[in-house]
Amino acid sequence: MDTHAPFPPTIWERPPPEAQAYILHLEARVAALEARVRALMEPLPQDLRTSSRPPSSDPPTSPRQRRRRPPSGRRPGGQPGHRGQPRTLMPGAEVDEVSTLKPASCARCQQPWDGDAPQPQRHQVCEIPSIRPVVTESHVHRLVCAACADATQAAWPAAVPTGMDGPRAHAVAARCPGAYRLSQRTTHRVLDDLWALPMSLGTLSHVEVATTQAVAAPVEEARPYVQKPASAH
């Protein structure tokens, strides 16, 4: 038997052939198990499948496992029998501008047209108006009395805030990070992009604090009522 004896010949010749074969079998099995352990000990590639890192940290070349639904055999889009939900036209009283389009003449004989169609086709386009801040400037006069030389300054109206932002601007700036979970920097960009309303990050912080203080009493008043119902929603 062609074997590689693990012991010197004087020792290896002592056990019977059956024991020698079993020793060689164990030696081969130990070598295979050691190779498997070395393979398992090698570091795995760090991606969303082998670590707790978020998927956004994986490189672009990392394979992604996506759950794919089996094809249903139906074509994309609305299925036969599906009831569509088209947008309904707004009543004429709520339309801001009406444009009347009439043909100048008959397309066949060029006879000029006169009159109106009994039921013209209606087509409406809804557009967001161009928004810019409405700036109100107050001129506060301080006058000197001609009789007693005393100076008197006009009082500020109660509706004029001390800051440079009105109540609606204040409410929108507080709602973006509160209800919509936007960061202050994103809120700053939203106010500038949508309403052309520049507001610094420091002002946004003051707005959040002031809004929290303003709604503190109503929130505490509503808290017991919210806790009474059996369900949370």
Q: What is the pLDDT of residue 4?
A: 67
* Distance (Å, whole) CA 203 – CA 165: 10
Rounded mean pLDDT of 206-214? 90
Four-point Cα dihedral 32, 36, 42, 47, nearest 10: 150
Is residue 188 scored above 80 in pLDDT? yes
- The encoded tokens of residue 108 equal 């066949």
What pLDDT is stored for residue 41 in this prediction? 80
Identify whether the C-beta of residue 199 lies closer than 8 Å to the C-beta of residue 173.
Answer: yes
2, pLDDT greater than 60:
no
Give the C-alpha separation, 220 to 212, whole Å.
Answer: 12
Q: What pLDDT score does 88 carry?
A: 87
* 88-131 pLDDT tens trace: 888 989 999 999 999 989 888 988 988 888 889 999 999 888 88
pLDDT in tens, 47-63: 656 666 666 666 666 65
Higher-confidence residue: 60 or 166?
166
Provide the pLDDT for residue 58. Answer: 62
Structure tokens, 118: 């009994």
Helical spans, DSSP H, in 69-200: 167-178, 184-195
Mean pLDDT of the chain: 84
9 confidence band (pLDDT: 50, 70, 90):
confident
> In the chain, what are the domain boundaries?
9-41, 165-216
Burial of 4 (0-12, 13-18, 19+ CB in 10 A): exposed
Q: What percent of the chain is modeled with pLDDT above 90?
A: 27
- What is the pLDDT at residue 69? 78
Q: Is residue 77 scored above 80 in pLDDT? A: no
pLDDT for position 57: 64
pLDDT at 233: 63
Please, which pLDDT band fits residue 72 given cuts at 50, 70 and 90? confident
Instruction: Please choose, from the candidates 80, 149, 147, 90, the residue with its C-alpha nearest in 3D space to the C-alpha of residue 123.
Output: 90
pLDDT of residue 192: 92
DSSP code for 142: E
The mean pLDDT value for 60-77 works out to 70
The 3-state DSSP class for residue 153 equals: strand
Tens of pLDDT along 132-162? 899 999 999 999 999 999 999 999 888 888 8
Q: Token pair of 112, please?
A: 């000029």
Contact 187, 176 (CB under 8 A): yes
Would the pLDDT of 1 be above 60? Answer: no
**Signed CA dihedral, 42, 48, 54, 60: sign only:** positive
